[in-house]
Chain A
């Protein structure tokens, strides 16, 4: 029997994978992928909980998270493009002019 916990553990594993990507990757594009993964992971859990309780709020939440993820992609890509235009790279090591 697959219980709610299964889904939540799966969700958490995926979230952890996403987080791992965020902290180790140097490619800005990959960072954005990783954040997408995190958000998607949460969606699974929300859908599962929603199913468990028989309550639609979880699905709503997931729905809005998808919307948010999509908007973030737009802005994120815009930023990447502009940076790439100026610097010819999307390596985050290039973003180090400010420190200290």
Chain B
């Protein structure tokens, strides 16, 4: 019962929050509702016995991602509204119809009864421990690669935002400095 109430509440809230995000004109509203939606999703994770994921969700998204966005927004002039060209009715209907189509498809039960869990969740073991076990055995390599990916992202971010990019060697003449 509790699960049902929680699910519907969370669902309603996330949908609402994300709907605001994609429709609002104000970037600040959008970001706030995005952050809100993400926190609610972490609640959903807890509901699904994925505690570790819930924690990561809160830390990474609300802690890191949203913070990054916030800093970026300070940089951008958020007062300057971007004209959202009105999309045509047909386009809107098409979008809605295809979304409905997608949702309808996904209502079909997908889970198979015969599937045996390859990396089962152990009863009585904390989720973080469980996750850790799998993460550092089976998913060790992806984990490391993810680290490399983050490194790449970091380098990329730094370079792009860095001062060196201001002077363009590609375009200025050879002898100029």
Contacts and interface: CB of A to CB of B under 8 A. Distances in A.
Would A and B touch once assembled, by the CB under 8 A criterion?
yes
Interface of A: 1-2, 4-21, 23-27, 29-30, 32-34, 36-37, 40, 43-44, 47-57, 59-60, 62-64, 66-75, 77-82, 84-85, 88-91, 93
Contacts of A82: 160-161, 165
B150 A13 contact: no
A1 B4 contact: yes
Contacts of B121: 50, 54-56
Given A44-B41, A51-B48, A66-B61, A27 B84 contact: yes
Looking at B50, B142, B154, which has the most chain A CB atoms within 10 Å of its CB? B50
Contact of A17 (B15, B60, B65): B15
27 contacts: A2-B3, A2-B7, A11-B106, A20-B95, A29-B76, A32-B69, A33-B69, A34-B22, A37-B21, A43-B45, A47-B48, A50-B48, A55-B119, A55-B120, A56-B119, A56-B121, A57-B134, A59-B131, A60-B139, A66-B57, A66-B60, A66-B61, A77-B68, A79-B160, A85-B166, A90-B76, A91-B82
Contacts of B3: 2
Contacts of B31: 33
Contacts, number: 231
A6 B118 CA distance: 24
Interface of B: 3-4, 7, 11, 14-15, 18-19, 21-22, 27, 30-31, 34, 37-38, 41, 44-45, 48-50, 52-53, 56-57, 60-61, 64-65, 68-69, 72-73, 75-77, 80, 82-85, 87, 95, 99, 102-103, 106-107, 109-111, 115, 117-121, 130-131, 134-135, 138-139, 142, 146, 149-150, 152-154, 156-161, 165-166
